Structure 1
């Protein structure tokens, strides 16, 4: 079976970063085809020249092969920009109506059974596409996945983060209780049948959170699976729109979640309301409550699916937030009283997690 991964990159005046973005896609190695579509919004900073340079490199080093009525560049000898079975590389540069419109243009041209997008300042990590290909071949029931959160500095170096910062588990109840930060778009991949079921387009009424609104529609149909591997990352720099316009980001997410709440079954909405009301843990059950995990153990040849308990993880998440707050206080005040307080909170967290686990066992 030929797996084709369709990647769309919307871009406008990102000449400083777009070469890194393109290379992170083209250099993916493995048993799959890449259908790469770049939609440039009429940049005037030299972006088009950079995009064209990679097309010329593929033409010079590869032969053409037609698959599913689309032409792919296939490398006949080792070539660092084509290490998979073949690459279709297409791009246009013209005025568009914004981020969502550019994505819709790209996806309407795509053909892959696996879909994703990567903004023109972000990057994929090595072996991301091969991992995704293996997962989708092994698990027919998996419709969309997200890797562990990761990010890059402006110079492209990988930023470090804690385990809980990497593993930001989310499901439909996380969103319905407004705990939505964040499903990392750069590491999210989905099947085309889910895309079609969810409407088959990006909602252009949203200017910043087109991804968050799409996740809400995906949650109406399928569970999200979290892959214990870093797949793609967000690059921090001075002109990130999400950071510059955070109030608008949160406003759009609130609107998207309100739309989700109106469309879910009544029992699902009531269950989320019970979670917000802190109902006793032993009285709460729902088939979509626990987080879905996909991981490959050391030396294993296949991926495995498991679950993480919603309540135990939520307590860890709250403890992590407290820890980071204490670290900030300690840094700002230099207070030595913070350390014993941190130990007390850690002990209390272990007691609460143990109690929650005990109540679930005796009520099961």
Structure 2
């Protein structure tokens, strides 16, 4: 197998649980790391990807051949740290060139202790993962290098993503508030359940005049109701949605009180389980910025940004009756038929599997935040009339 070498970097090895190995050079910190290997198809947005809490305990393979061109800046972080377990790139940029750059990607990986590998054929890795599905993996460099069979055993000893309860590991430790419009007039107050929320999601709400009270994942219904909110937002996050019994109970409590609710990504899955639907693991997930999704109400196709390894299972072509009334599938991925949105018809709740805030990615679905605001406005008017 050909190895693309980068001068000045130590030998490194990517090992998959099925025994496949890829040799390259270290990138970022040296040592060893473990996680689920997934591939990300976006040509931009590496900083947003690395700092997205949804990638906690995953090793991200970048399909774009050159990474690091624009360096690292403070504005594009989606959280306070890098969350990926490991990072795989073909060719690290030799020079970071961007007017906003404050340093290099390599230096930032070292600062956060993220073990990576470069000089590998990321196209071959991606094709392998598409054929075999997401696999447990390990990256080893420096003193961590050992006999390949030993390394494969170490990888296989690690837990997979099914059954992983990770929201509590990425959530905010304490409640905090994001003011509306950076301190302007407040139209609505929303409680955001932080299962791994991205900063851009909060910005999309606050710029629409929403004051966002962010609650940690362990918050209960009493914490929520004490805020006297106009709506509830359930965020993205990592792990298996089957482990989110606590979050699902909180969502059901909000639905019982008919509080408008909006869930994105992991939040979409939590809403699905709260309504009584099942969730399942996708073969290799959706991780990229270019997936076509059809809005089944309008027929419009949007190009969307995704990051999820699980999905909701529900009837596609019929309205389902649940303990909270009728529910329909509102959006579907045109690549593989995966459910990408739910809409409750008898309570004010909706959800999207993809990321309408699209950081990075297309902004086709940004209007979804407007729809949530409109739902809160309608609910407020209804309450006033009553």
Q: Same fold (TM over 0.5)?
A: no
Higher strand proportion: 2
Q: What is the TM-score when the length of structure 1 is the normalising length? A: 0.31
Q: What is the TM-score when the length of structure 2 is the normalising length? A: 0.30
